[in-house]
Structure 1
Amino acid sequence: MSSINELLNKRILIIDGAMGTMIQRYKLAEEDYRGTRFADYPTDLKGNNDLLSITQPQIIKAIHLEYLEAGADIIETNTFNAQAVSMADYNMSSLSPELNLASAKCAREAVDEFLVRHPERRNEPGPFVAGAIGPMNKTLSLSPDVNNPGFRSISFDEVAEAYYEQVKGLVEGGVDLLLIETIFDTLNAKAAIFAVKKYFRDTGKPELPLMISGTITDASGRTLSGQTLEAFYTSVQHANPLSIGLNCALGADQMRPHIEELSQIASCYISAYPNAGLPNAMGEYDELPSQTAHFIEEWAEEGFVNIVGGCCGTTPDHIRHIADYVRKINPRPIPVIEESLTA
């Protein structure tokens, strides 16, 4: 999409903050998740946030609008777990196509309403809707049985099929970008990439820009499945992503050295959306918006990033502060990196 590339060359773009954090503010009960359609559903549904795009679309749309008003250039669809494998926890695997379609439409409607409120924005590209593709609750690289390290609870083909169905719903719902995020197992991510590429080959539709965002789980600088950042990047760069980046697990202060490293090895745009610090003893995130923004401002001044925002614990206030702090800072120029080939 030439329009987003045009913007990325001009300024640092802002991606939204946490959807789950905002949903928690509504203090929804079981009956809110069920709505009228699923009032008699045999499975408990509270906590199935993706379902709210069908049962409480006005809430999801309102959250999108809050982030847009805070300065987000990119909003993510409410589809982090909206593929058949994860939805099996609620006995709702068959609902995956509808969930993705409904979530994409919620985000599109929010953008349309935002542009009605702000007609001056119609003359520039965006805001953009990114179809969020989460990591799944099953992993291809790790065994769920400590006594049987060779065991896998799912196959590559099954993962790819679930992601293919998700991609189809997102694209048909009108997303502008696809975002494979919170990657802790690169093999799952490669199945998602395969599904994305296969969908566009099968349909003949023009490929949408692809964002890829991994997760470093601790100070070692590795993903949960053991890859270093350089190995992770090398594993997915064949997808020719619009951006590569990091999100979740760490606050901005802890994420800094990893973003710096990634910015030095990647020949595409860099995204970063950390948590609002680390959780406290109660599992809550209490880093102030100004604190998160201060850390990200420093990244931007060092020339590490092109797209920034927030993950767990972040709110529209965090996004507003981040947008204000980086507004006048130039984006990271994409370096010319000599590609090395293995023998």
Structure 2
Amino acid sequence: MGAVEELVEKAGGCAVIDGGFATQLEALGADINDPLWSAACLITRPHLVKEVHLQYLEAGADIIISSSYQATIPGFLARGMSVEEAEGLLQTSVKLALEARDEFWKSALRQSKPMYNRALVAASIGSYGAYLADGSEYSGSYGADITTEKLKDFHRRRLQVLASAGPDLIAFEAIPNKIEAQALVELLEEENIQLPSWICFNSVDGKNLCSGESFADCLQILNASEKVAIVGVNCTPPQFIEGLITELKKQTKKAIAVYPNSGEVWDGRAKRWLPAECFVHKSFDALAKRWQGAGASLMGACCRTTPSTIRAVSKILKGRAGH
């Protein structure tokens, strides 16, 4: 049994993923108005990164995700850093999560808190569109000159560095199109990554990927890969999630992870959140129970959610208050 499967079993059939990272950094006073987004804090305020991880662990998260979603070597080089410094920051993103996990686990053992599991650390790898910071992660429109080989070259070194930093799994997040999914699967094979991975897509209509391509076409690629242990959806409005789980269950036998955003919509060009037509932040706990019933075995939340969201999800899924 792999680490993820073992964790899901220990968690009673449903592991809890953490919530919005950048949102909580801002709540702690961080300024993330930066092309690097939350990854900027790896440079300026790493102690806040660790604090956010600890808050989500305290809230009941079984899996915490590193702050490397928008951390890329080209992005750090654009800030005047060397390749060595850039790679060091990628490693730091995993190191901070591991330190938080280990400190929290030791504390839980000392205090005899049986409601907690020893959390896993997932190293986050955002899409090519996240690096561009032009909104294309929500459209999948990368341009005619982008090929599978170019995407593999873009992701390769970051994947190597993050995998070598000691995480428990790799989390490819908010993938908006088929070509990037294909590139990631090929890259995992070429690099012979021995860690379990998940690939989560995003959707703006609840039916297809952001690019308009079908989940069925993408899942054919993922189903053929033994390197991909989990498939799912993140950074997608919560009202779409139950239907998407139902569709995923028809197309794959892999474990399903879902961690939607609050329902608000990110305007990538204006760099601001737009109000949701149906803001459901307070009903995540009830929704999570429905998602579990539909077939998801890993659940959490994404942008504009907080530790209180994860505490509510953990409580309803496991009957624990997460404190």
- TM-score normalised according to structure 1 size: 0.78
- 1:74 equivalent in alignment to 2:76: no
CA positional deviation for 1:253? 1.8
Q: Secondary structure at the match of 1:20?
A: helix
Q: Which amino acid letter does the alignment assign opposite residue 178 of structure 1?
A: I
CA positional deviation for 1:210? 0.9
Residues 1:284 and 1:69: Cα distance change in structure 2 (over 3 Å)? farther
Residues 1:47 and 1:7: Cα distance change in structure 2 (over 3 Å)? closer
Matches within 5 A, 1:245-284: 245-250=232-237, 252-279=238-265, 283=274
Q: 2:302 aligns with which of 295, 311, 322?
A: 311
Deviation per CA, 1:208-258: give whole Å up to 9, x if none.
Answer: 111111111214x111222112112112222232211111131x2232211
Q: 2:197 aligns with which of 185, 210, 215?
A: 210
Matches within 5 A, 1:12-161: 12-29=14-31, 48-87=37-76, 90=79, 94=83, 95-119=85-109, 120=112, 126-137=118-129, 142=141, 144=143, 151-152=144-145, 154-161=146-153
Q: Secondary structure at the match of 2:64?
A: strand
CA positional deviation for 1:142? 3.8
Contact map agreement 1:4 1:125 (CA 8 A) in 2: no
For 2:142 and 2:2, the matched residues in 1 are separated by 42
The farther-off stretch of 315-324 and 121-130 is 121-130
CA positional deviation for 1:305? 0.9
For 1:142 and 1:275, the matched residues in 2 are separated by 21
For 1:247 and 1:61, the matched residues in 2 are separated by 22
Deviation per CA, 1:261-301: give whole Å up to 9, x if none.
Answer: 1123211111111111234996257946541111121222x
CA positional deviation for 1:177? 0.3
Residues 1:267 and 1:289: Cα distance change in structure 2 (over 3 Å)? same
Q: 1:327 aligns with which of 310, 318, 323?
A: 318
Matches within 5 A, 1:184-263: 184-200=176-192, 207-219=194-206, 221-240=207-226, 241-250=228-237, 252-263=238-249
Residues 1:47 and 1:160: Cα distance change in structure 2 (over 3 Å)? closer
CA positional deviation for 1:70? 0.4
Deviation per CA, 1:56-76: give whole Å up to 9, x if none.
Answer: 111000000000000000000
* Runs of 4+, deviation exceeding 4 Å: 44-47, 85-93, 120-125, 138-141, 279-282, 284-289
Q: Secondary structure at the match of 1:246?
A: strand
For 1:198 and 1:122, the matched residues in 2 are separated by 41
For 1:47 and 1:167, the matched residues in 2 are separated by 17
1:6 equivalent in structure 2 = 6
Residues 1:303 and 1:288: Cα distance change in structure 2 (over 3 Å)? closer
For 2:164 and 2:43, the matched residues in 1 are separated by 16
In structure 1, stretches of 5+ residues that fail to align are 34-43, 145-150, 202-206, 329-343
For 1:107 and 1:76, the matched residues in 2 are separated by 7
For 1:129 and 1:70, the matched residues in 2 are separated by 15
Contact map agreement 2:108 2:116 (CA 8 A) in 1: no
Q: Secondary structure at the match of 2:274?
A: coil
For 1:323 and 1:299, the matched residues in 2 are separated by 13
The farther-off stretch of 229-238 and 13-22 is 229-238
2:269 equivalent in structure 1 = none
CA positional deviation for 1:196? 2.7
For 1:242 and 1:256, the matched residues in 2 are separated by 20
For 1:303 and 1:93, the matched residues in 2 are separated by 47
User: What is the percent sequence identity of the aligned residues?
Assistant: 24
Q: Secondary structure at the match of 2:221?
A: helix
For 1:264 and 1:92, the matched residues in 2 are separated by 46
